[in-house]
Structure 1
Amino acid sequence: MSDRQPIPNINIGQVYDQRYSDAEVHYDRLGNLAGFFGRNMPVHRHDRFFQVHYVKTGVVRVYLDDQQFVERGPMFFLTPPTIPHAFVTEADADGHVLTVRQQLVWQLIDADPSLAPGPQLPAACVALTPLGAEGEGEAARLDYLFEELNGEIIATQPGRGAALDSLTRLIMTRLLRLCANSLPARPARHEDLKIFHRFNELIEAHYLQHWPLSRYADGIGVTEARLNDVCRRIADLPSKRLILERLMQEAKRLLLFTGSSANEICFALGFKDPAYFSRFFQRYAQMTPGEYRQRQSGLR
């Protein structure tokens, strides 16, 4: 593993939603995050934060460290701080994503150690459907609690901070109770995962240079066909799509968080023709860069 690059640490409040850069709790709908980051989320971690993805509908492919899970909602996966994880959401997947500072979760476990199986809380992936009536009841309660949390996030009512804290603690308590039902991991080809993660590392390092796929394959030491086969097996996406999604993610970030014009962003992303960049963006976002900036600004 010595040839691997350090696992990227993502502070979601700084990278995705700067309104909450110093917040104890960050929440958004899974569909909104997938719209920003793309369907493929390469290996990363969240230093000092616990994160839970509650997938209400659709299928998600999850990689918790070297463990693989492919599950349909309702389900959730919990990632403790520093645990490397990756996931790919299907186009129809939606739900909720909650990111909380580690101290909040530690306080819950300190108050009642039976919430955790041991001193180190492991990553967990839990499907609710196999739990039968109990799972249906938990799914209904979690749906309600997440919608209440969403309502408090959107509104600016008196007592908002206390309500967010209480709802977050209640959600995390229910999820920690369910972690005892964590699923066994599916067998995964170690070599495939190694190729896939290395491909994502190279994308991160070179997407602005618009490398052709052949150069990525050469950098990994595999054929283009082998690389594409691995990407389809692990992410259910063609290899070229993963490169394009990283470009789109950066384009969206620059449109949201900088005052740069679309032309300036075009050149910053390595495109030579603003008209081509606009067509590229519109093809994948179903709107022009200007429309995206205007629409998202109205939501923030």
Structure 2
Amino acid sequence: MTERNLNVQRVVVKVGTSSLIYPTGKANLVAIDRLAYALAALKNKGYEVILVSSGAIGVGLDVLHLQQRPESIADQQAIAAIGQAELIQLYHQRFDDYGARIGQLLLTHDVFEFKSSRQHVLDTFDSLLAHGIIPVVNENDSVAVDELDHRTTFGDNDQLSAVVATRVGAQLLVVLSDIDGLYDCDPHKHAQAKLLTRVDNLTDAIMEGATGSSTRFGTGGMVTKLRAAARMMAHGDQMVLANGSDPRILLQILAGDEVGTWFRGQKNVEVNANA
């Protein structure tokens, strides 16, 4: 197996709802446990790790025994509030099993738009990491709504993770999803589709070939992941997109194993992130 020279110290890991919630709507406790194990192991190895976690809506739907997202914004935000509390409790239990401590940060986009609030939140990240705490980040879905020129939402957690990664100076963003990586064509439609193990240039053809998707639990798709990759590459940093069905794959990724798709950034190269 080919090895990659990632050469990183600070890592942001984004895990999607599909990796945390079964299609039945129940929490995937095995995946959550393995995620906590992998991140605790990486911290013990000396990495500074930040987790950006989806899943609040999915967990909230299960708590209220709902099969579909409600249409009203107020109901969705209430479900997010309930689910976030349940999710962070699950994380606390699992990380504690592996001797790791977590701290929760719920963010809105405007926090990064204003110099004072941006610096305060960046200082919080630095302080948590300096104390050996793993920050667990999510969008503050219970209050985030875009109105007029006041932007509070990130749109999706792929964008949130890329914004956090570039702002905190992480050299690597790992996005765990329900697909093995980026293919040269849709693997669900073309049996001959080939996994791209390395991407040095996000061409217009690649961006246009991606399609969005959504489920009743989460939002996003390949488009949002490529936009996250574009943001990282534009800053000269890296992103790996890999299958998060078993989050222990993080240990392989940080060991340099050639799994998933590796997006390598080059500073001063213009990349259209559309975000």
TM-score w.r.t. length of structure 1: 0.29
Q: Based on CA coordinates, which of the two structures has the bigger radius of gyration?
A: 1
TM-score w.r.t. length of structure 2: 0.31
Q: Which structure has more helix as a fraction of its residues? A: 1
